[in-house]
């Protein structure tokens, strides 16, 4: 458990560093698509894992919402990328893959807490990516997608924070 929390905390710290935030301001359309697709894949796959491993209805309900909303987001991302003539090769980044593996291997009995902590970190990263690209994106349709998606990500982030504060039980 401590290893998983430490790993997720280290990843989260790296995700919200000033350097990471500044870097998103100059993200190319290709980099944006890669990051957004990886984020959606992580949200979907980690939430599918939560449906199998979670013991609480609130976490499972959140996971179902993540799967539904991020599947929709993925479809819209692909459509926007196509309109902007940007190739989409859905592949999870090594960072997201490591997070997913840590969640998958969690045998601490506190999966729900680890999953929700990962959701808070992932949604903070995604929110930074979306808001930055919505303001500074070079590709018109991708920037519109980011602008439309950011409020949903913000809502997910707040929901995950609430679950984290309440200890994910219920």
pLDDT of 90 reads 79
Q: Which long-range contacts (CB under 8 A, 24 or more apart) does 142-149 make?
A: 142/29, 142/32, 142/33, 142/77, 142/80, 142/81, 142/84, 142/86, 144/80, 145/76, 145/77, 145/80, 146/32, 146/36, 148/76, 149/73, 149/76
Residue ranges, the chain, pLDDT below 50: 1-25, 169-170
Domains detected in the chain: 2-15+29-165 (1.20.1260.10)
Spatial CB neighbours of 158, under 8 Å, sequence gap ≥ 6: none
Contact between residue 147 and residue 86 where contact means Cβ atoms under 8 Å apart: no
pLDDT of 35 reads 95
pTM of the model: 0.81
């Amino acid at each position: 458990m401590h290893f998983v929390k430490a790993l997720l905390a280290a990843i989260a710290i790296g995700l919200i560093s000033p350097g990471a935030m500044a870097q998103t301001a100059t993200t190319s359309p290709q980099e944006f698509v890669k990051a957004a697709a990886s984020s959606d894949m992580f949200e979907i796959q980690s939430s599918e894992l939560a449906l199998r491993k979670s013991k609480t209805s609130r976490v499972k309900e959140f996971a179902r919402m993540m799967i539904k909303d991020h599947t929709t987001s993925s479809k819209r991302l692909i459509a926007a990328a196509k309109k902007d003539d940007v190739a989409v090769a859905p592949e999870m980044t090594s960072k997201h893959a490591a997070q997913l593996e840590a969640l998958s291997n969690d045998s601490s009995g506190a999966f729900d807490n680890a999953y929700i902590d990962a959701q808070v970190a992932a949604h903070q990263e995604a929110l930074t990516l979306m808001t930055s690209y919505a303001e500074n994106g070079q590709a018109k349709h991708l920037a519109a997608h980011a602008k439309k998606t950011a409020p949903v990500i913000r809502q997910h982030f707040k929901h995950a924070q609430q679950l984290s504060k309440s200890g994910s039980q219920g």
